[in-house]
Structure 1
Amino acid sequence: MIHLHFTATDLTRVRFAASPLTETVASLRTLAAAGRGGHLHRPWIARFAERTSRLREHDLDLLRALVRPAGYIPDFLLPPPSRRSSTFGDALAQVADTDPEIVARELAHLAAHRAAQHGPGHEERRTLLQALVRRPDAGIGPVTEALDAYHRVAIAPDWPRIDALLNDDIAYRLDALAEGGVDRMMTNLHPSVTFADQTLRIAKYYEGHADCGGRGLLLVPCAFAWPDVLVRTAQPESPSVSYSPRGLGRLWEKHPEQTSSALAGVLGQTRAALLTQLDLPMSTSQAATQMALAAPTLSVHLQALRAAGLLTSRRAGRQVLYSRTDLGDRLLTEAGRQPTP
């Protein structure tokens, strides 16, 4: 059990962020568990298997040595995002700027970590990690190159939907914070997380205590953290907790390649397809990427659907997020019941 102890100041410094790098690193752990049955991310695992040939085998070997199925993940791989929404490039630059002495120390710890090194191939992984430690840059160069290549193949194609899910969760948590304070917001963060007496308790295989010490807490919803919770307390910045966002089961839901011809006849093919996609709240740019349309063109369709009462919008930071209304849901449901020629 990990205990994170809060002061009154810490409670005023709780913030959220979505991190494409956290998703990238956590997804490597998901791949390591791919052989287990009934996996929530199985559709993504299957898609990734089709793309694996685009990656160099030694990059995958390196990343598999860095992110094990369980146990310690080096902290330098998960730098805390500086703002609510950041790009993968920004986060990768943070990794590249890490002090090589810190990286070497964390890699040496990983090589000797009992839980992380459980299973076959330990000697090969230790040899690989020790070779990185001996480099002047402690391996930061090859690590960032491998992460970049892996992200482009594994995460970037699905990032619009992942990002939409993360921001939907953040909006929900902020609403709960506004209505009932930190207690309400923390109540259903994750089954293994409880909050009482100004202490956040996270069920883990080891015992630990950490004081937030006025630094606050960074909460990072992460689709690929499921079913675990990732905790970082060692960095000088605020401690961070990565947890599974609400509605995770919607992430890999299939959307029909062709919308109902009857619905398309009324709304038009583009607007009918757009309505189908917006089961998750998306910004104009996210939806444009998903639909492969220019943002100004898509904005016209979004406004038309909103004016018809089929979409609703809300502001989240600098973005406006659009999602289907109950009327839009019912319209799709009824259209789906009609025979398609």
Structure 2
Amino acid sequence: MIHLHVTAADLTRVRFAASPLMETVTSLRTLAAGRQGRHLHRPWIDRFAGRAGRLRPYDRELLAALVRPQGYIPDFLVPPPGRRSSTFADALGQVAAADPEVVARELAHLAAHPVAQQGPGRDARRAVLQALVDRPDAGIGPVTEALAAYHRAAIAPEWARIDALLHDDIAHRLDALADGGVEAMMRNLHPSVTFAGQTLRIVKYYEGHADCGGRGLLLVPCAFAWPDVVVRTAHPESPSVSYSPRGLGRLWEEHPEDTGPALAGVLGQTRAALLALLDLPMSTSQAATQMAFSAPTLSVHLQALRAAGLLTSRRKGRHVLYARTELGERLLAESGGPSAR
């Protein structure tokens, strides 16, 4: 178990962020452990299988050595996001700017890590890691190239829906903070996490203590962290905890285009399909990507559904997120469509 000790000053500096790079890195762990029963992401694993051929064999070998099914993940691979929403390019730039000496040290630690190096192929993985360590840049160049190629094939096609889920969780946590303070926000963060007496306790395979020391705490909802919690305590900016977001079971649900003739007859097929899609809050651009419409065209449909009381909206930064109202849920359910489950 990890004991993460926080002070009053740390609690005033708690923040949230979504990280496309964290999703990319932890999804590699999901792939590596996919045969061990992580069935929640099976629809994504099956979809990615059709795109896996876009990766070079060396990139696959390199990434398999860098991210193991369990155990240590090098810190340089998952730098803390600077903002609540950051791009993959921004995060990859942080990786590219890492200190080669630090990277080499972390790769050497990974090569010798008893938990991460379990299973067949250990010698081959260690050879890959040592070849990176021996490079003047500690392999940062090949690593960033492999991560970028993998992200394009595995995560970018799914990002709109993943991003909507992450920010829905963040909105829920911030509402809980406003209503009940830090304890309410931390409640039900994850079955492996408890918070009491200014200590965050996370069930892990090892025992450890760490102090936030006034640096604050970064909370990162991460779809592919499931079923684990990823804890980073060594970064000088602030420790971070990555946990599974609420509603993760909805992430890969398929929504049939045919929502039923009765509902389509009243709303029209496009608006009926849009109502069925929005079981996660989405912006106009995210919904347009999912439905293959232009954003201006879809905006007209969103506004019509909102005016009818079937959708609600809230602002997140420069974007407006839309989600079904209770009336919209009931209408979809009674029409036989994929409503609130």
Task: Calculate the TM-score normalised by the size of structure 1.
Answer: 0.96
Match of 1:163 in 2: 163
Match of 1:117 in 2: 117
Which residue identity is paired with 1:297?
T
Which residue identity is paired with 1:150?
Y
- How far apart, in 1, do the equivalents of 2:240 and 2:167 lie? 17
Match of 1:101 in 2: 101
Q: For 1:36-185, what aligned pairs fall within 5 Å after superposition?
A: 36-37=36-37, 39-185=39-185
- How far apart, in 2, do the equivalents of 1:333 and 1:97 lie? 50
Q: How big is each residue's C-alpha offset from its partner over 1:151-198, in whole Å with a ceiling of 9 and x where there is no partner? A: 111111111111010000000000000111111111110011010110
Match of 2:193 in 1: 193
Partner SS for 2:51: helix
- Note the C-alpha offset of 1:261: 3.0
- How far apart, in 1, do the equivalents of 2:328 and 2:69 lie? 41
Which residue identity is paired with 1:106?
E
Q: Is the contact between residue 79 and residue 94 of structure 2 (CA under 8 Å) also seen in structure 1?
A: yes
Match of 1:16 in 2: 16
- How far apart, in 2, do the equivalents of 1:55 and 1:178 lie? 45
Which residue identity is paired with 1:141?
G
Counterpart check, 1:298 vs 2:319: no
- Note the C-alpha offset of 1:257: 3.0
Q: For 1:214-293, what aligned pairs fall within 5 Å after superposition?
A: 214-293=214-293
- How far apart, in 2, do the equivalents of 1:142 and 1:333 lie? 50
Extract structure 1 runs of 4+ deviating beyond 6 A. none
- Note the C-alpha offset of 1:38: 5.9
Which residue identity is paired with 1:326?
E
- Note the C-alpha offset of 1:315: 2.0
Alignment: residue pair count: 337
- How far apart, in 1, do the equivalents of 2:257 and 2:265 lie? 16
Which residue identity is paired with 1:186?
M
Which residue identity is paired with 2:302?
L
- How far apart, in 2, do the equivalents of 1:200 and 1:37 lie? 28
Q: How big is each residue's C-alpha offset from its partner over 1:52-81, in whole Å with a ceiling of 9 and x where there is no partner? A: 112112111110100001100000000000
- How far apart, in 1, do the equivalents of 2:228 and 2:78 lie? 16
| Identity between Structure 1 and Structure 2 (%) | 81
- Note the C-alpha offset of 1:317: 3.2
Q: Is the contact between residue 30 and residue 38 of structure 2 (CA under 8 Å) also seen in structure 1?
A: no
- How far apart, in 2, do the equivalents of 1:320 and 1:308 lie? 17
Partner SS for 1:35: helix
- How far apart, in 1, do the equivalents of 2:310 and 2:96 lie? 45
Which residue identity is paired with 1:274?
L
Counterpart check, 1:4 vs 2:7: no
CA RMSD in angstroms comes to 1.1
- How far apart, in 1, do the equivalents of 2:78 and 2:21 lie? 7
Partner SS for 1:242: strand
Q: CA distance change for structure 1 residues 138 and 38 in 2, over 3 Å: closer, same or farther? A: closer
Partner SS for 2:50: helix
Match of 1:202 in 2: 202
Q: Is the contact between residue 103 and residue 138 of structure 2 (CA under 8 Å) also seen in structure 1?
A: yes
Which residue identity is paired with 2:259?
T
Match of 1:321 in 2: 321
- How far apart, in 1, do the equivalents of 2:136 and 2:37 lie? 42
Match of 1:212 in 2: 212
Deviates more, 1:222-231 or 1:270-279: 270-279
Which residue identity is paired with 1:303?
Q
Q: How big is each residue's C-alpha offset from its partner over 1:213-240, in whole Å with a ceiling of 9 and x where there is no partner? A: 1110000000000000000010111100
Partner SS for 1:328: helix
